[in-house]
Amino acid sequence: MVNWVAFTVFIIFFVIVTGMGFIAARWRRGNLDLIHEWGLAGRRFGTVVTWFLLGGDLYTAYTFIAVPAAMFGLGVVNGWFAVPYTVLVYPIIYVLMPKFWSVSKQHGYVTAADFVKDRFGSNTLAFAMALTGIIATLPYIALQMFGIQVSLAALGIPLTLSIGSLQIDLPLLIAFLILAAYTYTSGLRAPAMIALVKDVMIFITLIAILIVIPAKLGGFGAIFSHVAQKAAPATIVQNGQPVPNPFSEFLRNSNQNWAYVTLALGSALALFLYPHSLTGVLSSNSRNVVKRNAALLPIYSLMLGLLALTGYMAIAANVKPLAPFGVNGAVPALINQQFPSWFAGFAFAAIAIGALVPAAVMSIAAANLFTRNIYKEYLRRDASDREESTVAKWASFVLKFGAVLFIVYIPTAQVINFQLLGGIWILQTLPAVFLGLYTHWFNRWALLIGWLVSEVLGTIFFVQAGLKSVYTITIGSLSFPTMYIAFSMIVLNLVLAIILTPIFNVIGMRRGQDATSPTDYDEEIREPVEAGKEALG
């Protein structure tokens, strides 16, 4: 049944945001026929806009749907690791990203692959980085579409409409077309502007949840006692068979410790290798804006931590998850159960809009990669600036459409698995991109082989683990602790790159020319003191 009150509220916000998306083209006007204007908004965002954009971009449907769902279904290991993850990411950002910003500004890089190409003098390595970025981003965009789909379903909107004998996912297609249209016309300016509305809505929703729900459920003490009950039995019955209880409130043994720690550290290292994160960084107007944001963005991590607890609230409230989304339907069901329908409409609009912002930035970032590092490199070397930006606009459209097909044809439970696989893939670009900021010691072929081996093995382990992101690697009788596959693979990747570099140098596989100079990484480009109006920029 469609809930008309909730639906009306939802539509109102959706329309406002759509209008903003189109108006954004004229905000801080630039020539949108240039890729750095369309895809990086001219690198002119100040501290405040960058804060909203990065916050809106990094905290995605994964935060609002998948993390609380993991808390609901599995508890601490698979859910709460997101908290140490989003704490530890910022010290890493503080150290690395100013360097990346400076060298990119100096040389006009739009993507990480642009940087790798110059640093290691290797088109092939740059191609590998670009390909990884695009492939890892696709399921992430799909996860955003999934977030929209869950919100629509929670409002009682039918997911498919029959037209003749065809079942068409019409509501999702409409959302997709709107998103695609304003991304095409406004580029990165659209999500930057919408992020402002999104973040305010999410914070309002969070505060309402924290005020209303614990009070109704008898406080956090009562909530956690329900959680403890769920975690207590050693085995549960599943399909008539007793199986070990998958849910835990605390880390039970050293395997869980290892899984928790490597998930947190591996994810923290991976986050700013994703194209959409780097795009957010590069759109800021100085390295100090990046540093300030490393100190300011944890406000969103606090939000993530508190939202994660809604998964536990759903346990205490004993909700029946919204079908057909399994554990991912738990928190939407909780919102429907605990709030009047007008506020539920607001909350689901917040989640859906919350998914639109990252989806837009991700598709722009992946389109930048395709255009700069594949199209211009291999298909049309002499593409004009205008052609470059047109290709990027269409690429972003096609990539989003790919994500929609993904969500329509692949079972929803798998979508999140693919996103986990994306995390394993993207982390393998770390040696070239992050270590590349410090050294060009690595031989380009050693980096390429380390990347290839770890990508292939990582994918195999992911499949062997039963499409899970943690796996116990055993070699003969030697059994390693259970670890996040992205983490064990980055260790392997680094070992290979370090061992193979001197070997390749000796056998005469030539190192690439480094086109950057050491000062490019630390250059303080003199910037005016950011006060008042500039800070708002």
Partner 1 sequence: MVSRSRPQRKRRSWLLIFLIIPFIALLYPPFYNSADPTFIGIPFFYWYSLLWIILTAILTAVLYFLGT
The mark string for 285-304 relative to partner 1 (x by CB under 8 A, - otherwise) is ------xx-xxx-xx-xx--
CA neighbours within 13 Å on the CB side: how many for 475?
1
Nearer to partner 1, 369 or 485 (CB): 485
> Minimum Å distance from CB 496 to partner 1?
24
> Minimum Å distance from CB 310 to partner 1?
13
The mark string for 113-152 relative to partner 1 (x by CB under 8 A, - otherwise) is ----------------------------------------
Rg (CA), the chain: 23
Choosing from 22, 27, 94, 441, the residue that interacts with partner 1 (CB under 8 A) is 94
Contact between 217 and partner 1 by CB under 8 A: the answer reads no
Nearer to partner 1, 38 or 80 (CB): 80
Contact between 374 and partner 1 by CB under 8 A: the answer reads no
Contact between 483 and partner 1 by CB under 8 A: the answer reads no
Contact between 219 and partner 1 by CB under 8 A: the answer reads yes
Q: Rounded to 5, what percent of the chain is helix, strand, coil?
A: 75, 5, 20
> Is residue 446 a contact partner of residue 496, using CB atoms and an 8 Å limit?
yes
Query: Binders of partner 1: how many residues, by CB under 8 A?
Result: 40
At residue 150, φ and ψ (nearest 5 deg) are -60, -45
Nearer to partner 1, 33 or 249 (CB): 249
Query: Which pair of structure tokens corresponds to residue 170?
Result: 């019409």
With the C-alpha atoms ordered 481, 482, 483, 485, is the resulting torsion angle positive or negative?
Answer: positive
The answer to whether the peptide bond before residue 502 is cis (omega within 30 degrees of 0) is no
Spell out where 198-259 has E strands.
Answer: 235-238, 241-244
Q: DSSP label at 29?
A: -
Contact between 97 and partner 1 by CB under 8 A: the answer reads no
The mark string for 225-264 relative to partner 1 (x by CB under 8 A, - otherwise) is ------------------------xxx-----x--xx--x
Contact between 519 and partner 1 by CB under 8 A: the answer reads yes
Contact between 224 and partner 1 by CB under 8 A: the answer reads yes
Nearer to partner 1, 145 or 223 (CB): 223
Binding segment for partner 1 among 87-95, 362-370, 385-393, 508-516 (CB under 8 A)?
87-95
Q: How far is CA 305 from the centre of its chain?
A: 16
Q: DSSP label at 39?
A: T
Query: What is the distance between the alpha carbons of residues 104 and 39, in angstroms, rounded to a whole number?
Result: 14
Contact between 358 and partner 1 by CB under 8 A: the answer reads no
- Taking alpha carbons only, the member of 490, 495, 487 closest to residue 470 is 487
Amino acid code (one letter) for 272: F
Query: What is the distance between the alpha carbons of residues 474 and 416, in angstroms, rounded to a whole number?
Result: 26
Residues within window 45-64 making contact with partner 1, judged by CB under 8 A: none
Query: What is the distance between the alpha carbons of residues 66 and 359, in angstroms, rounded to a whole number?
Result: 15
- Under the rule (CB under 8 A), what is the footprint of partner 1? 76, 80, 83-84, 86-88, 90-91, 94-95, 219-224, 249-251, 257, 260-261, 264-265, 291-292, 294-296, 298-299, 301-302, 305-306, 309, 519, 522, 524
